[in-house]
Structure 1
Amino acid sequence: MGQWGRAGAAVGSLLLFAGLLGLAGASDLPLVTCGSVVKLLNTRHNVRLHSHDVHYGSGEPMGRGLEKERRKKSLPGGSGQQSVTGISDVDDSNSYWRIRGKTSTVCERGTPVRCGQAIRLTHVNTGRNLHSHHFSSPLSGNQEVSAFGEEGEGDYLDDWTVLCSGSHWVRDDEVRFKHASTDVLLSVTGEQYGRPISGQKEVHGMTQQNQNNYWRAMEGIFMKPSELLRTEAHHAEL
Structure 2
Amino acid sequence: MQIAQRHRRLKGMDISNCTVLQGFLPTLVLFLSCMFGLSLGTELSFVTCGSVIKLLNIKHNVRLHSHDVRYGSGSGQQSVTGVTAVEDSNSYWSIRGTRDTVCHRGTPVKCGQTIRLTHVNTGRNLHSHYFASPLSSNQEVSAFGEEGEGDHLDEWTVQCGGTIWKREEAVHFRHRATDALLSVTGEQYGRPIQGQREVHAMSSPSQHSLWKAMEGIFMKPSESPAGSRDYSHSHTEF
Please confirm whether the aligned pair reaches a TM-score higher than 0.5, indicating the same fold.
yes
Specify whether residues 184 and 93 from structure 1 end up closer, same or farther in structure 2 by C-alpha distance, changes over 3 A only.
Answer: same
Shift of 1:107: 1.1
- Which runs of 5 or more structure 1 residues have no equivalent in the other structure? 58-76, 230-238
Q: Alignment partner for residue 44 of structure 1, among 55, 59, 62? A: 59
For residues 127-169 of structure 1, give each alpha carbon's deviation from its aligned partner in whole angstroms, at most 9, with x where no partner exists: 0000000100000000000000000000000000000011100
- What secondary structure is seen at the aligned counterpart in 2 of 1:83? strand
Shift of 1:14: 2.2
Read off the aligned partner of 2:176 and give its amino acid letter. Answer: A
When you count helix as a share of all residues, which structure comes out higher?
Answer: 1
- Which structure has the greater CA radius of gyration? 1
- Once residues 56 and 94 of structure 1 are traced to their aligned partners in structure 2, the CA distance between those partners, rounded to angstroms, is 17
For residues 88-128 of structure 1, give each alpha carbon's deviation from its aligned partner in whole angstroms, at most 9, with x where no partner exists: 00000000000001233321110110000000000000000
Specify whether residues 26 and 206 from structure 1 end up closer, same or farther in structure 2 by C-alpha distance, changes over 3 A only.
Answer: farther
Q: Residue 87 of structure 1 corresponds to which residue in structure 2?
A: 83
Specify whether residues 154 and 14 from structure 1 end up closer, same or farther in structure 2 by C-alpha distance, changes over 3 A only.
Answer: same
Read off the aligned partner of 2:139 and give its amino acid letter. Answer: Q
Shift of 1:81: 0.4
Q: Alignment partner for residue 12 of structure 1, among 27, 30, 43? A: 27
Contact 1:97 1:123 in 2 (8 A): yes
**Structure 1 runs (4+) greater than 2 angstroms displaced:** 1-26, 103-106, 226-229
- Once residues 137 and 5 of structure 1 are traced to their aligned partners in structure 2, the CA distance between those partners, rounded to angstroms, is 32
Shift of 1:21: 4.9
- Once residues 25 and 112 of structure 1 are traced to their aligned partners in structure 2, the CA distance between those partners, rounded to angstroms, is 20
Greater shift in the superposed pair: 7-16 or 131-140: 7-16
Could you tell me the TM-score, scaled by structure 2's length? Answer: 0.82
Shift of 1:208: 1.5
- How many residue pairs were aligned? 210
Q: Residue 56 of structure 1 corresponds to which residue in structure 2?
A: 71
Read off the aligned partner of 2:108 and give its amino acid letter. Answer: P
Shift of 1:7: 2.7
Contact 1:4 1:151 in 2 (8 A): no
Aligned runs of 1:102-141 on 2, under 5 Å? Answer: 102-141=98-137
- Once residues 157 and 4 of structure 1 are traced to their aligned partners in structure 2, the CA distance between those partners, rounded to angstroms, is 25
Contact 1:23 1:222 in 2 (8 A): no
Q: Residue 44 of structure 2 corresponds to which residue in structure 1?
A: 29
Contact 2:7 2:28 in 1 (8 A): no
Greater shift in the superposed pair: 189-198 or 219-228: 219-228
Contact 1:5 1:127 in 2 (8 A): no
- What secondary structure is seen at the aligned counterpart in 1 of 2:178? coil
Question: What is the RMSD of the two structures over their aligned residues, measured on CA atoms?
Answer: 2.3
- What secondary structure is seen at the aligned counterpart in 1 of 2:140? strand
Aligned runs of 1:1-238 on 2, under 5 Å? Answer: 6-7=8-9, 11-18=26-33, 21=36, 25=40, 27-57=42-72, 77-227=73-223
Shift of 1:227: 4.2
- Once residues 169 and 130 of structure 1 are traced to their aligned partners in structure 2, the CA distance between those partners, rounded to angstroms, is 19
- Once residues 140 and 36 of structure 1 are traced to their aligned partners in structure 2, the CA distance between those partners, rounded to angstroms, is 31
- Once residues 23 and 148 of structure 1 are traced to their aligned partners in structure 2, the CA distance between those partners, rounded to angstroms, is 32
Give % identity. 66
Read off the aligned partner of 1:44 and give its amino acid letter. Answer: K
Specify whether residues 5 and 15 from structure 1 end up closer, same or farther in structure 2 by C-alpha distance, changes over 3 A only.
Answer: closer
Read off the aligned partner of 2:66 and give its amino acid letter. Answer: S
